[in-house]
Each structure stands twice: as C-alpha cells, then as structure tokens.
C-alpha cells in the first residue's frame, strides 16, 4: 500500500480529521504567539485564514467548521486586545473578528465543496473509463471463454474480488463447476434463477450465505449466475458501477450464447438436409443394384434358359454385386476416416505391382479406354500402405472411365524425386469446370447434371487416404485437355542392404523376430 493511500485511509476516520484540524490551528497559534502583544496581531488572522483554506483542500465540512471556529476563538482570546479575554474593545477589531469568522467559514466550506465536486468528477471519469475499457475489451472477445477472461480481469481490477461465472448451457441447464458446494447452495442457485433476483450475503434473501449470487441480465435469455466473494457491501458509487458492469457482461454473454444457438440451429438444419440428401442418394444408389440382382435371380429361378442367357444373367448379378460392394466400401472407408480409426500399415512395395493390380481389377471398366502406364526407370521401391493406395488409384481410374469418352487414353505416371513419390492420373475427358475444381474433394459432391451413379465419396476418400500417408493431392485441368490428379507422398529411398529380397528371406526374418 502506498503512502498516499495510507494517509487517505487515516483521514477517512472522522476522529483523526477533527484532531488534525484542531491540532493544526493550535500549532499555528503557538508559532504566531510572539505577535500577540504587538501591533501586527492582525497578521495572525491572515495566517489562520490561509491555514483554513489549506485544510479545506483535503478535509470534509465538519473538520473545516471546527478549524474556522477554533481559529476565530483563539485569535480573539490570545491576539485581540485586551489579550487572554473574549472582550473586544475596539469597534474595528470587532468588525474584523466577525468578518474573519465569516470569511473563514465561507472560504473553508466553499473550498471543501469545490474539492468534493472535483473528487466526484474524477470518480465519474474513472467509472466512465472503466466502462469504456470493459466495453472495448468485450467487443473484441470472440468466444465465451474470452468474455469470461475479460470480465474476470476487469472485475478484479475495479472491485478487488474474484468472481465465479456459472453459465447456462445451450439446453437451458446451469453448468456447475467441479467445486465443493456449501450447504444449500444448489437450492439457492435455483431460487436465484427462478426469481431472477440477487441473493446471499449483503442481500435481504439468504444473507447467511458465504457468497453473493447475482443473476446475469439478458434481453432474451438468461446467461447464468455470478457468484461473488464480497467481504463488504459496495457503497453507492461502487454499486452504480457494478450494475453497469453486470449489464455489459450479461449482454456480451447473451450475444455469444445467441450466436452459439444460431450456429447450432444452422448445424442441425444442415445436418437434417444432409441426412435427407444422403438418405435419398443412398436409397437410389442401392436400389439399382439390388433390383438388378433380384430381377436376374428371379429370372434364373423361374425359367429354363440357354447357357449364353444364363451367363449373361450371372454377369448382370456380378456387375450389380460389384457396384453394391463398392458403395458399401466407400461408406465404410468414409466412416473410418471420420472416426479416426484408419490404421496405416506402410511397407516397401513396387509401384508396378500397384498399377498392375488396379488395372486388372478394373479390366471390365477399362475395356473402352486405353491405359498408358509411364513409370520412371529409376523408380525405387516406395513405402506405403498398399491396400489404401490401391483404393486411391482404383477410385481415380474408375472416376476417369466414368467421365471420359470411349476410346480415349488414360495416363498412369509414377516418378520419384527429393524423397517424394509422385503419382499422376491424367485423362483426356472434358475436365472440370473452374467452380468444381475447388469442391471436387468434398464429401457427397457430384458434378451438376452428372449421368454417372455413386454417392460422391470417391474423391473425398482418395484425399483422406493420401493425407493419411502425410501426402497431398491436387487437381487441375491439363493444358492438353482432361483432368490431372497429382499425388505427392513422402517416401525416402530404401536401404537395400537391410531389405529382404524374397519370400524365404522374409519368412526367415519374421521367424528371427519371433
């Protein structure tokens, strides 16, 4: 505590103010006593007037009246002839005495009033600045957590107390922190919420409580309750500032709570819309292969057909089953990506094996296209999860067959540079519209008026699997026409000395580890 604050605290006690006023006058009289029997005794009146004016700059009205009265009495008794009596012989001395007393009282009171007005203006300015600072800080707070930090700091700075905010959640329930609660505190909180009235210490309601509970005000919703540890009740000025603080904090919390409610409502609306879209899309996509399988199976069961006809019906069942399986795989893969349950199993593989396996699986779909495989001669073994990368290339190739005209070429390229495996899938189809390039990897995105089936999950799964490898995938329209997908995945050059070279060595290596 500073020296100034100590003096102000000392002077705030009335007895000390009166003692200071009386002691100052008596000290001044003692120091001026050598003028008592001289012709300069009028000078003492001016000295005492100056003392009263000085005391009025920091003392209240009561001590100033005491100093003025005591100054007039002592000046009359010790300095006005005849000395040491209260009798005044000369008329001019009597007039000067009356004027001295009047001037001392008026000057002291008016000076004290000016000081009080100055203090009041300063207090109002401080309150205005505090509210302005609080308003600016709250306006810059973007979340409820930021609002609570600002409010806690400002309350601690202005009122020297630490508040505890008990806020309502989006469902209208009061969130209670994991703190030990006092007897009956839960019931008291319920009472405050029900009556929207402050309760607890320094209030008419439940004054025996250790804390003061104040409802936070809002125009549309109740943001919550403020629990305050308040040893002493606020004075009038503090109470006025406190009410303004509560309004500002309550409005800020209400604003952010309403924003959260709006975002929640928007999210629920979008979720409901997405659910309906997804449900309709899945229903449509599943209905086609299921209907094909049921129709072909029913035909086979209820008639005798030639081997070529049976073979064609079996082929339709197989094609529909593959399509149905692809839809289910895409849904399962997206579920694994979103749940974070995708486990990467990287190992060293030959990129030729990857391309050959995918093109073999898509042999039927690629009948109307020519696949041109371009693999760099210096292409080393690459470290990747073979199953996931197989799904990546599979989806990209399948996507190319669905959107490119018959007879066009699809390029599969693989290079390795700077510890990066670069894979490209380039077709010579119509490519993507500029607005679609940014959305191609979004879930359930499909090109407008697309005639192909599917749920719009293929490219989003590709992106998820590539990013699971720590890589990136980009899409651009090639200058020569068509779309070009570029995949970049970190893959350092293998250390051939420590790598198994055949299946027997792999088996021996695994056996030695066991």
SS (H, E, C) 327-345: HHHHHHHHHHHHHCCCCCC
Residue 8, pLDDT above cutoff 70: no
State how far the Cα of 20 lies from the Cα of 77, in Å rounded to an integer. 21
304-319 pLDDT per residue, tens:
778 888 888 888 888 7
Q: Are 94 and 50 in contact (CB under 8 A)?
A: no
64-91 pLDDT per residue, tens:
888 888 888 888 888 888 888 888 878 8
- Give the Å distances, CA to CA, from 106 to 22, 69, 100: 18, 12, 10
The owner of tokens 């928007």 is: 266
| Rg of the chain taking only CA atoms, in angstroms | 45
pLDDT attached to residue 394: 86
- Give the Å distances, CA to CA, from 86 to 30, 44, 94, 214: 18, 16, 11, 61
The owner of tokens 């000085």 is: 54
H or E stretch at 398: helix 386-403
> How many beta carbons lie within 10 A of that of residue 169, not counting itself?
11
Mean pLDDT of 108-125: 75
State how far the Cα of 203 lies from the Cα of 233, in Å rounded to an integer. 9
Lowest pLDDT segment from 51-60, 242-251, 478-487: 51-60
pLDDT above 90 covers a percentage of the chain that reads 6
pLDDT attached to residue 505: 38
* Nearest alpha carbon to residue 410 among 421, 398, 418, 419: 398
b/e sequence 418-443, b meaning 16+ C-beta within 10 Å: eebbbbbbbbbbebbeeebeeebbeb
Residue 383, pLDDT above cutoff 50: yes
Region class of 97: left (phi > 0), else alpha (psi between -120 and 50), else beta: alpha
173-229 pLDDT per residue, tens:
777 766 555 556 778 888 888 888 888 888 888 888 888 888 887 777 778 888 888
Could you tell me the two tokens for 10?
């000392």
Q: What is the DSSP string of 219-241?
A: SSS--EEEEE--SS---HHHHHH
Q: Supply the pTM of this predicted model.
A: 0.45
Using pLDDT thresholds of 50, 70 and 90, give the confidence band for residue 351. very high
Which residues on neighbouring strands pair with residue 472, listed in sequence order? 488
Using pLDDT thresholds of 50, 70 and 90, give the confidence band for residue 355. very high
State how far the Cα of 458 lies from the Cα of 122, in Å rounded to an integer. 69
pLDDT attached to residue 508: 32
Residue 414, pLDDT above cutoff 90: yes
Could you tell me the two tokens for 378?
């210096």
pLDDT attached to residue 343: 75
pLDDT attached to residue 504: 42
State how far the Cα of 416 lies from the Cα of 413, in Å rounded to an integer. 11
Could you tell me the two tokens for 240?
């006025």
Mean confidence (pLDDT) of the chain: 78
Which residues on neighbouring strands pair with residue 473, listed in sequence order? 487
pLDDT attached to residue 454: 53
Using pLDDT thresholds of 50, 70 and 90, give the confidence band for residue 483. confident
> How many beta carbons lie within 10 A of that of residue 81, not counting itself?
14
> How many beta carbons lie within 10 A of that of residue 248, not counting itself?
20
Alpha-carbon torsion (120, 124, 125, 130), positive or negative: positive
Mean pLDDT of 493-505: 53
261-277 pLDDT per residue, tens:
888 788 777 767 756 66
pLDDT attached to residue 156: 84
pLDDT attached to residue 472: 92
Using pLDDT thresholds of 50, 70 and 90, give the confidence band for residue 489. very high
pLDDT attached to residue 272: 72
Could you tell me the two tokens for 107?
């000057």
pLDDT attached to residue 338: 60
- Work out the end-to-end distance of the chain between its first and last CA atoms, rounded to an integer number of angstroms: 73
Lowest pLDDT segment from 63-72, 81-90, 130-139, 499-508: 499-508
pLDDT attached to residue 13: 67
pLDDT attached to residue 87: 84
Q: Exposed/middle/buried for 152, CB within 10 Å: 0-12, 13-18, 19+?
A: middle
Mean pLDDT of 366-385: 88
Using DSSP, state whether 130 is helix, strand or coil: helix
């Amino acid at each position: 505590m500073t020296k100034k604050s100590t003096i102000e605290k000392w002077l705030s006690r009335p007895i000390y103010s009166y003692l200071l006023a009386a002691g100052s006058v008596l000290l001044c009289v003692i120091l001026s006593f050598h003028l008592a029997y001289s012709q300069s005794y009028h000078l003492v009146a001016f000295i005492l007037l100056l003392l009263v004016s000085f005391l009025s700059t920091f003392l209240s009205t009561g001590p100033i009246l005491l100093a003025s009265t005591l100054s007039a009495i002592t000046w009359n008794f010790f300095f006005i002839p005849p000395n040491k009596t209260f009798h005044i012989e000369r008329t001019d001395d009597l007039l000067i005495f009356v004027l001295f007393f009047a001037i001392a009282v008026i000057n002291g009171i008016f000076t004290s009033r000016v000081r009080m007005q100055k203090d009041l203006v300063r207090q109002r300015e401080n309150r205005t600045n505090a509210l302005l600072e609080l308003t600016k800080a709250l306006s810059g707070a973007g979340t409820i957590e930021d609002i609570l930090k600002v409010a806690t700091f400002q309350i601690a700075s202005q009122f020297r107390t630490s508040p505890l905010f008990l806020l309502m959640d989006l469902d209208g329930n009061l969130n209670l922190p994991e703190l030990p609660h006092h007897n009956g505190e839960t019931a008291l909180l319920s009472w405050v919420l029900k009556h929207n009235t402050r309760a607890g210490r320094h209030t008419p309601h439940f004054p025996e409580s250790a804390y003061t509970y104040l409802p936070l005000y809002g125009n549309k919703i109740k943001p919550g309750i403020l629990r305050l540890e308040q040893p002493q009740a606020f004075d009038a000025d503090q109470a006025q500032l406190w009410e303004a603080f509560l309004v500002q904090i309550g409005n800020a919390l209400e604003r952010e709570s309403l924003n959260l409610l709006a975002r929640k409502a928007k999210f629920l609306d979008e979720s409901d819309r997405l659910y309906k879209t997804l449900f309709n899309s899945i229903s449509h996509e599943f209905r086609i292969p299921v209907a094909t399988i049921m129709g072909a199976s029913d035909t086979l069961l209820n008639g005798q057909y030639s081997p070529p006809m049976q073979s064609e019906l079996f082929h339709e069942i197989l094609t529909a089953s593959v399509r149905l399986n692809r839809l289910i795989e895409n849904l399962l893969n997206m579920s694994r990506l979103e749940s974070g349950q995708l486990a990467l199993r990287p190992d060293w593989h030959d990129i030729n094996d990857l391309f050959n396996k995918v093109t073999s699986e898509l042999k039927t779909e690629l009948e109307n296209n020519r696949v041109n495989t371009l693999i760099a001669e210096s292409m080393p073994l690459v470290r990747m999860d073979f199953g996931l990368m197989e799904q990546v290339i599979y989806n990209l190739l399948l996507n190319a067959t669905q959107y490119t005209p018959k007879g066009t070429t699809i390029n599969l390229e693989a290079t390795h540079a700077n510890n990066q495996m670069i894979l490209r899938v380039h077709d010579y189809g119509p490519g993507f519209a500029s607005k679609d390039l940014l959305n191609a990897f979004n879930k359930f995105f499909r090109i407008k008026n697309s005639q192909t089936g599917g749920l719009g999950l293929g490219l989003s799964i590709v992106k998820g699997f590539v990013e699971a490898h720590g890589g990136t995938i980009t899409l651009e329209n090639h200058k020569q026409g068509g779309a070009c997908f570029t995949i970049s995945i970190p893959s350092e050059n293998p250390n051939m000395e420590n790598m198994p070279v055949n299946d027997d060595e792999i088996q021996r290596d695994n056996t030695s580890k066991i």
